[in-house]
Amino acid sequence: MIAQNAHYNEKMASVYEQMYPIGFDTDAALEFLATLAEPGARVLELGVGTGRIAVPMAERGYRVFGVDASESMIAKLAERDSKGEVTVELGDFTQPGLDMGGDFPLVTLVLNTFFVAVSREAQLNCLRNVRDQLAPGGRFVLEAFDPSPYHVLTKPDLSMRFLGENAIMLDTLMVDRSQQLMVATHTILDGGAPQTTQHVLRYAFPQEIDLLAELAGLRLVERTAGWRKEPFTALSPRHVSVFERAE
Lowest mean pLDDT among 83-92, 165-174, 220-229: 165-174
CATH 3.40.50.150 fits 10-146+204-245, yes or no: yes
**What stretch of H or E contains 132?**
helix 120-133
More confident residue, 92 or 25: 92
The closest of 120, 124, 108, 127 to 48, measured between CA atoms, is 108
Mean pLDDT over the full length of the chain: 90
Q: What is the pTM of this model?
A: 0.90
| Contacting residues for 97 by C-beta, under 8 A, at least 6 apart | 129
SS3 79: helix
The pLDDT of residue 16 is 57
Nearest to 77 by CA among 17, 6, 5, 141: 17
pLDDT at residue number 1 = 28
Domain boundaries along the sequence of the chain:
10-146+204-245, 149-201
Biggest CA–CA distance in the chain, Å, is: 55
- Give the model confidence (pLDDT) of 186-218 as tens digits: 898 888 888 888 889 999 999 999 999 999 999
Question: In this predicted model, what pLDDT tens digit does every residue of 102-129 receive, in sequence order?
Answer: 999 999 999 999 999 999 999 999 999 9
pLDDT, tens digit, 9 for 90 and up, residues 50-95 = 999 999 999 999 999 999 999 989 999 999 999 999 999 999 999 9
Neighbours of 234 (CB within 10 A): 6
pLDDT, residue 14, reads 56
> Could you count the other beta carbons within 10 Å of the beta carbon of residue 193?
7
Residues forming a β-bridge with 76: none
Centroid of chain to Cα 149: 20
Domain 149-201 annotated CATH 3.40.640.10? no
